[in-house]
Structure 1
Amino acid sequence: MDGLLQLLINGISIGATYALFALGYTLVFSVLGVINFAHGAVFTCGAYFTYLLLGGAVGSNGMLAGMHFPLALPLLVALPLAGIGAAAMGLLVEAVAFKPLRRRGAEPLLYLITSLGAGVILVNLIQLLMGAEAYALPGNLLGRWPAVLALGHGVQIRTVQLLLLIVAGIAMLILSLWLNRSSYGKALQAVAEDGTTARLLGINSGAIIQLAFAIASFLAGISGGLVALSVNIGGPYFGIGYGLKGLGVLVLGGLGSAPGAVLGGLIIGIAEALVPAKLSAYKDAVAFAFLFLMLILRPQGLLGKPPMEKV
C-alpha cells in the first residue's frame, strides 16, 4: 500500500505539470478551433529562460557561448519572469503564424502547418544561440529545504515535486477564477462559444485571441521551468516530447475543456508512474496509448462535448 501511495504522489506531481501545459493547448483551441503545434517550442523557451534567469551560463557551442544573466534571481522570481518571456514568444507566434491567416479566413490545416513551422524555427533558433548541449539547473535553488521530505511509513516526496504541485495548483486555481469571475475571462469564454456573436456584442475577438495566446504561453513557460527543475534540460528539442504528450492529455480530457485538461494530465501522470521500472523506457507510450484508445472509444474525450449532428 505504501508503495502504491508513493507511485500516486509521483504521478500526481508530474501529472499536474502536464495539466498546466495542456491548459495552454486548451485555451488556444477554445478560441480558434485549431491546435498550436508551436506550444512545445514555447515550453522549451520557458525552460531556457528559467535557466538563464537563475544565473546559468551558455555553453561553448552556441553563438552566446559564455554569456549569462548578470543577476542570479531567486527561483520564485525567475519562474514568473520566464513565463512572461514565454508569453512574448507566444504573442510573436500568434502575430507571425496565426494572425495573417485569420485575417484571410484560411483553412484550419494551414494554421497547423504554420504553427509547426514556427515551432521548428524557434527550436532551431534556441540551438543556434544556446547550442545543442544539455543544461542542468543549479542544485541549491531551494536553500535550506531538504531534498526529500518524509511523509511516514516509508513514503517520501521530493521537495521539487512538492514545488511542482504547489505552483501548478496555484496557477490552475488563478486561471479558473480569472475565467469565471473576470470580464476578460468571460469575454474569452464568449469568443470560444461563438466568435461571430461575440463580435456582434462588441467584444474585440482579435484582442481576446492574443490574450489567450499570451496566457497559454505563460503557462507553457512556467511548466517548462518546473520540468527543467525536476529533470534538467535535455537540449533544444527538450519540449517536443512534452508537446506531443500534451496533445494526448488534450484529447484524453476533451478538446476545449479546461477541467478535462486537468483530469487528463493527472490520469496520464499517474499511469506513467505505475509503469514498472524495467519498462520505464516505454513511459512515453502511455500518453499515446490513451490518445489512441480515446480516439476510438470516445472521440470527444472524457469531459468534451459530443459533436453536433447535422440535419
Structure 2
Amino acid sequence: MTLTLFLQNILNGLSIGSVYAIFALGYTLVFSILGIINFAHGAVFTLGAYFTYFLMGGATGFNGLLANAKLPFSLPFGLATLVSGVLAGLVGVAIERLAFRPLRRRGSDPLLTVVSSLGVALVIVNVIQYLVGAENYTFPAGAFGNLPPAINFGTAANPIPIRTVQIVIFLVSGVMLTVLTYLINGTKYGKAMRAVAEDATTSSLLGIDPDRFIVLTFFVSSFLAGVAGTLVGSSVSIAGPYFGIGFGLKGLAVIVLGGLGSIPGAVVGGLVIGLIEAFVPGEYSAYKDAIAFGLLFIMLLVRPQGLLGRKLIQKV
C-alpha cells in the first residue's frame, strides 16, 4: 500500500467513523439513563435523512401515498440538517412517551421495553414506505453550494483526493461531539443527567425530576440520530425506509466495542470501526459488516466490558 492510499484511507475512516460515533452516542445516552437499548434509534436515523431531503426541496418518487409531492420551499443544507435534527428529536420524545414511559411506570420487565421499541421501529419504517415508497433518494445537486466535489490534500504529483461531502461529515461530526461533550460535562443538564443515570430514586430526592431528564435525553439522542442519518444520506443516498437498520446494528457494535454506557467509548469505538472498514480491500468491501461484527465477537471474548467500559460489580 502506498503512502498516498494509506493517508486517503485514514481520512475516509475518520469521516465514516465520526458518523458512527455520533450515532452510537444516541444509544449510549439512553442506555446510561435506563439501562436498555432503544431499537427504534435506527428508524429515527432514517427519518432524519428523509426530513433533510424534503426540507432541501427534494421531491417524492412515483410510489406511495405522497407520490410526486414536494414542499413549497427549500432550505440550505446546514439549516435543513438542524431542523431535521430537531424534528427527529421530537420523534424521540414521542417514542419515549408512547413506548417507554408507560412500561417504565408499571415496573415492567426491561425486555418488554426492548420489544416495544422494536415495534415502534417497524411502525416507523412501514409508515415511511407507505407515504413515500421504497425508492432510493439522492440529495439535490449542489447541496454544499459552490464547493468542489473533491479536495486534494496532497500534491500535484501525489494527490490525495477526498470527497467534499466526507470533509463536511467529519467537520459536522466534530462539532456535534464537542457540543455534546460540553453539554454532558459542563452544564447543569449534564450533571443532572449523570445523577439520574447513577440513581434515579436518589436524584429525585435531591430535587431532580427523572422523567424530565429522560425526555431531554431522548430528544438529544434522537437529534444525534437525525443528524447522523442526514450525513450518511448526503454521502451515499437514502436507500429506502430500511436505510437505518444496518446502521442501527453497526451502532450496537460500536457501543459494545467501546463499552456500554461509556461516552468516550462510543467515540473510540466508532472511529476504530470506521478506520478498520476503510482499510478493507475493495474486492472484499461486501464483507465490511462481517469484519466489524467479527471484531465485536472477539472483543466480547477477550474484554466483555469493551475498550473503555467498566466491569459490572454484583452487589449482594
TM-score (norm. length: structure 2)? 0.97
Please show how residues 1-311 of structure 1 align to structure 2 within 5 Å: 1-152=3-154, 153-311=158-316
Aligned residues of 1:87 and 1:214 also touching (Cα < 8 A) = yes
The SS at the match of 2:36 is coil
Size of the aligned set, in residue pairs, is 311
- CA deviation vs aligned residue, 1:240-297 (integer Å, no higher than 9, x gap): 0000000000100000011000000000000001111000011111221122112111
Aligned residues of 1:160 and 1:229 also touching (Cα < 8 A) = yes
Whole-Å Cα distance in 1 between the matches of residues 194 and 304 of structure 2? 22
Whole-Å Cα distance in 2 between the matches of residues 269 and 187 of structure 1? 32
The SS at the match of 1:157 is strand
The SS at the match of 1:251 is helix
Q: How far 1:130 moved relative to its partner?
A: 0.8
Whole-Å Cα distance in 1 between the matches of residues 20 and 250 of structure 2? 8
Whole-Å Cα distance in 2 between the matches of residues 105 and 177 of structure 1? 33
Query: How much identity, in percent, do the aligned residues show?
Result: 56
Structure 1 residue ranges, 4+ long, deviating more than 6 angstroms after superposition: none
- CA deviation vs aligned residue, 1:130-173 (integer Å, no higher than 9, x gap): 10111111121112111110011321211100100110000110
Whole-Å Cα distance in 2 between the matches of residues 293 and 87 of structure 1? 34
Q: How far 1:120 moved relative to its partner?
A: 0.4
Aligned partner letter, 1:211:
L
The SS at the match of 2:239 is coil
Whole-Å Cα distance in 2 between the matches of residues 206 and 297 of structure 1? 37
Q: How far 1:14 moved relative to its partner?
A: 0.2
The SS at the match of 2:29 is helix
Whole-Å Cα distance in 2 between the matches of residues 106 and 309 of structure 1? 22
> 5+ residue gaps in structure 1?
none
Aligned partner letter, 2:83:
L
Whole-Å Cα distance in 2 between the matches of residues 295 and 213 of structure 1? 27
The SS at the match of 1:283 is helix
Aligned residues of 1:268 and 1:286 also touching (Cα < 8 A) = no
Aligned residues of 1:26 and 1:255 also touching (Cα < 8 A) = yes
Q: How far 1:46 moved relative to its partner?
A: 0.2
Q: How far 1:309 moved relative to its partner?
A: 3.4
Whole-Å Cα distance in 1 between the matches of residues 214 and 85 of structure 2? 18
The SS at the match of 2:72 is coil
Whole-Å Cα distance in 1 between the matches of residues 203 and 306 of structure 2? 26
Whole-Å Cα distance in 1 between the matches of residues 60 and 288 of structure 2? 31
- CA deviation vs aligned residue, 1:29-61 (integer Å, no higher than 9, x gap): 000000000000000000100110010011111
Whole-Å Cα distance in 2 between the matches of residues 100 and 213 of structure 1? 15
> 5+ residue gaps in structure 2?
none
